[in-house]
A and B are shown apart, each in its own frame.
Chain A
Amino acid sequence: MFRLTKVFLRVWITATSLATFGLGWAALAHSPKPAPLFSSQPAAASWTASPLPPIPSLAQLQTGGPSISSGITGSLSMAPSANFSPPPIRTRGS
């Protein structure tokens, strides 16, 4: 009698353990999966590349020869015009 009870208890404990494991596995398998909170890139379908506007290159604004400012300022290597009177408002480095 004691031997039968012992076998029964073993079978019962094993069966309930297996059943619990199976239920837990099934529950986890169907639970929602973790997902990134932020997506670093937009969805491919909504993202289209567009060309950047061209970057203009630097240009020399006046030349060493007769230039648009030499006549008024006599800058560079030319002597200032005697008639030139610069505007009193002046921008200077600080």
Chain B
Amino acid sequence: MMEYDEFLAMNTTVQVAAEGSAERLRPGFEIVRRYVAEAERRFSRFIEESELSQLNHAAGHWFKASPELLGLVQESLAWHDRTSGLFDPSLLEALRQVGYDRSMAELRERPAPTPVPAMEWMRPRLADTLVDLERQQILLPEGVQLDLGGIAKGWVAARATEMLGHFTDSCVVSSGGDMVLKGLPEGQPSWQVSLEDPRDASRVLAVLEVRPGSLATSSVTKRRWAQGDLPRHHILDPRSGLPAESEWLSVTVWTETATGAEAFAKALLIADPDEAASLSSRVEGLRFIAVRADGSLWGLPLSREMLHVPA
């Protein structure tokens, strides 16, 4: 029997599913809720006292970090390198420049003002960040400000799934666009996951057959706002500092790791579709499905395995 829990955290909906009796799973669901709330207080850029905000304030100086923040920053740097810089969590200042300077709920209530004339884009030097594991310290170069929103959701989902794994052999934690799947539903060869239509959130575009691992979706149709007359979205192209002009509306990636799935979902969405095949070949076993504006699904021949074929 599959039991479900759903709650709001990290500016998104967190969905939890686990196989087992409600009685046995209840404490597991409670632990997940508490862990997610704690992680939000640590990793949110919208909370002034969060550890991430303090790290950003300390740019240019060594900062003593918790093992969690240290690990997440280290993984972010590794994926930044692996995606040739297309995954870049250091675009916080550029996000503010295009109007995303408060939570999405606040932004919808109070639209961003007309942009000031753009200055020449100076890309932050994320790759120069130093992580000292022995002393547990991070040195952000001056001018580098991190926004770990997306990758933190994947990281949190992975740890929450591990915790819930003490109560069941089969569970899923989905945090916004990032999902981690452990085990398999009883008697099933895979998990069935609805792929939301990026053009209309009330519709399902396809059903995916997903094996244990991580699934992440990035979309240019979520988190949209207006800055003056300009339509904006939150997937920034680090090469221009502006919202990416993508041929695809969304990209869904399956990999073994949650942070890898998140990084490559963003990188493939930003990359030219011509580059997508070679970029995705950098991670063994990676599969992706992209949705174009006409609703057609694109991917590598291997990706077809993920599409559910009705009997």
Do A and B interact? yes
In the complex, the answer to whether A93 meets B218 with C-beta atoms within 8 Å is: yes
Closest chain-B Cβ to A57's Cβ sits at a distance in Å of 6
Does A7 belong to the interface (CB within 8 Å)?
no
Does A91 belong to the interface (CB within 8 Å)?
yes
Does A31 belong to the interface (CB within 8 Å)?
no
In the complex, the answer to whether A60 meets B297 with C-beta atoms within 8 Å is: yes
Does A24 belong to the interface (CB within 8 Å)?
no
- The 0/1 profile, CB within 8 Å of B marked 1, for residues 14-58 of chain A is 000000000000000000000000000000000000000101111
Q: Which residue of A lies closest to B277 (CB)?
A: A55
In the complex, the answer to whether B193 meets A56 with C-beta atoms within 8 Å is: no
Closest chain-B Cβ to A54's Cβ sits at a distance in Å of 10
Of the residues A60, A68, A86, A91, contact of B296 by C-beta under 8 Å: A60
A61 and B303 contact, Cβ closer than 8 Å, known pairs A75-B206, A89-B174, A90-B194: yes
Instruction: List the B side residues contacting A11 at CB < 8 Å.
Output: none
Instruction: List the B side residues contacting A93 at CB < 8 Å.
Output: 177, 196, 198, 217-222, 250
Does B281 belong to the interface (CB within 8 Å)?
yes
In the complex, the answer to whether A89 meets B295 with C-beta atoms within 8 Å is: no
Does B8 belong to the interface (CB within 8 Å)?
no
Instruction: List the A side residues contacting B301 at CB < 8 Å.
Output: 56, 59
| A: contact size bracket | 20 to 34
A92 and B201 contact, Cβ closer than 8 Å, known pairs A57-B277, A68-B307, A72-B207: yes
A86 to B302, alpha carbons, bound, how many Å? 23
In the complex, the answer to whether B299 meets A58 with C-beta atoms within 8 Å is: yes
User: Which of A59, A89, A93 counts the most B-chain CB atoms under 10 A from its CB?
Assistant: A93
Does B276 belong to the interface (CB within 8 Å)?
yes
In the complex, the answer to whether B153 meets A94 with C-beta atoms within 8 Å is: yes
In the complex, the answer to whether B217 meets A92 with C-beta atoms within 8 Å is: yes
- The 0/1 profile, CB within 8 Å of B marked 1, for residues 49-88 of chain A is 0000101111111111000110111011000100000111
A93 to B307, alpha carbons, bound, how many Å? 18
User: Which of A59, A73, A91 counts the most B-chain CB atoms under 10 A from its CB?
Assistant: A91
Of the residues B218, B221, B289, contact of A61 by C-beta under 8 Å: B289
Does B118 belong to the interface (CB within 8 Å)?
no
In the complex, the answer to whether B205 meets A92 with C-beta atoms within 8 Å is: no
- The 0/1 profile, CB within 8 Å of A marked 1, for residues 272-311 of chain B is 0100111001000000010000011111111110011110
A92 to B289, alpha carbons, bound, how many Å? 12
Does B263 belong to the interface (CB within 8 Å)?
no
A92 and B219 contact, Cβ closer than 8 Å, known pairs A69-B205, A69-B307, A76-B295: yes
Instruction: List the A side residues contacting B223 at CB < 8 Å.
Output: 94
A58 to B298, alpha carbons, bound, how many Å? 7
Closest chain-A Cβ to B251's Cβ sits at a distance in Å of 9
Closest chain-B Cβ to A51's Cβ sits at a distance in Å of 14
A59 to B287, alpha carbons, bound, how many Å? 13
Of the residues B15, B296, B310, contact of A71 by C-beta under 8 Å: B310
Of the residues A62, A64, A89, A94, contact of B177 by C-beta under 8 Å: A94
Closest chain-B Cβ to A93's Cβ sits at a distance in Å of 2
Top 6 closest A-B pairs, CB basis? A93-B219, A94-B177, A94-B176, A69-B206, A92-B196, A86-B204
Binding site for B on A (CB under 8 A): 53, 55-64, 68-69, 71-73, 75-76, 80, 86-94
